[in-house]
Chains A and B, each alone.
Chain A
Amino acid sequence: MVIVGGGVHGLATAYYLARNHGITNVAVLEKSYIGSGGSGRNTAILRSNYLTPDGVRFYDRSLKLYERLAAELNYNVMFSRRGHLTLAHNDSSLRTMRWRAEVNKASGVDSEVIGPADIKKLVPFMDTSERARYPILGALYHPPGGIIRHDAVVWGYARAADAMGVHVHQDTELTGIDVEQGRVTGVRTSRGSIATRVVVNCTAGWSTLVANLAGVRLPVQTFPLQAAVTEPVRPFLDTVVVSGTLHVYVSQTDRGELVFGASVDPFASYSTRGTLEFVEGLAGHVLQLMPSLSTLRLLRQWAGLCDMTPDFAPIMGHTEVDGFLVDVGWGTYGFKAGPVAGETMAECVATGRTPELISAFGLRRFADGSLVGEKGAAAVGH
């Protein structure tokens, strides 16, 4: 079978197909190099404090797989459990935090709402005073959250899949999908054709272009998401901090750099050029949270493409074309889902049945009007 896209989703799907189901007659097609898409550009935040019960149990499974991934792949993915804070600066976000905390606890996920004094203990450099323009009223604190080395995850899955017999083809672009009588029969690529009955679309920001080749329409729009990193400084920030109101989040890597991100760019695009508007806005917002960072220098900024869905939840499983499956709609939050998406998509392909864990995420939900509604937990905090 053919998997399109050599990001964490495509490679994890290939890995679990081989490991859990013994299926190794698999080709992963990647038009550039593995990890060249969102998987090598994200800010690597892992968490499971979502808003819907469907989302919470799904991401919780992923976090559990991530926790033992280094040992399983024999590859240091540098998972670092930091604790994750989502700040509330107004009553309505505080209400959403309480709601999330209750949904999380009901699913056995560690989350609670804490006040400014406890926030100050976790992040002494944060301005928790009432003088701030948007004073911090509280936060959703999620101890299991953390960060990971994204490149290592991609390489680790690729290496392990390759060792079991999967073929990973870099510099190989999918250019056509042959569909006969509603069924996939093969694919065409920039390096030749492959006969196959199964194609799994794991191409994130490019996923509508690939789906169009099979005649399938997806409710996905591609938006760039930017991020930036500072020069390294001594460790002072353990926790991942997110502020939806200020449209900013920050974490400190093991090397000491501060990684900053925000929400997606204001218009749809396939361009990955950074903009000055982004860094200007970002710097202003970061300084409202942590004024003492004003002398820090930014080293780099970059962008990646995000496949946004109307309900901020993924689209997974079968489509109306037999043999054409999708694992897309990962928006700004899909890196943390890599392991569980790979595990469930592999099961879906191998057994032909949709696993319970992803039954809420089918493509049909848009036509049926049963959306998942994850925006309150995924718009800024990725």
Chain B
Amino acid sequence: MILIPCPWCGSRDAGEFAYGGEPTPRPDPRTATREQWRGYLYLRNNVAGWTTERWYHRMGCRRYLTVQRNTVTNEVRQP
């Protein structure tokens, strides 16, 4: 079982959350090139190891939160 530490509700089973993935900074639509915009849409780092990501506590407080997770072991910690 994977526990996600919600800053508002405490540690809860990952099944209560929706995965938001790696945060990707949105380029300015007025100045972004096609390449930059498509990179924002499709490219992710897909890290093997510790990474920072967003999760949504859909069956709890319904807020977004940031956690660190090791994608090889699925160990989770608070950022």
Interface residues of A (CB under 8 A from B): 206, 208-209, 217-222, 266-271, 273, 276-277, 310, 366-367, 369
Contact = CB atoms under 8 A, between A and B. Distances in A.
Interface string B40-64: 0111111010000000000000000
A266 B69 CA distance: 14
A266 B45 CA distance: 18
B15 interface: yes
B74 A273 contact: yes
B34 A369 contact: yes
Most buried by A among B14, B42, B46, B73: B46
Nearest to A309: B42
B44 A219 contact: yes
Contacts of B14: 266-267
Given A220-B46, A273-B74, A268 B38 contact: no
Contacts of A208: 45-46
A270 B71 contact: yes
Contacts of A266: 14, 18-19
B21 interface: yes
B72 interface: yes
B4 to A, nearest CB: 10
B35 interface: yes
A162 B65 CA distance: 51
A310 B41 contact: yes
A269 B42 contact: no
A270 B48 contact: yes
Nearest to A307: B46
Given A208-B46, A220-B46, A366-B42, A268 B74 contact: no
B42 A219 contact: yes
Contacts of B39: 217, 367
Contact of B35 (A276, A310, A367): A367
Nearest to B19: A267
Given A268-B19, A271-B73, A271-B74, A222 B46 contact: yes
Interface in B1-50: 1, 14-15, 18-19, 21, 34-35, 38-39, 41-46, 48
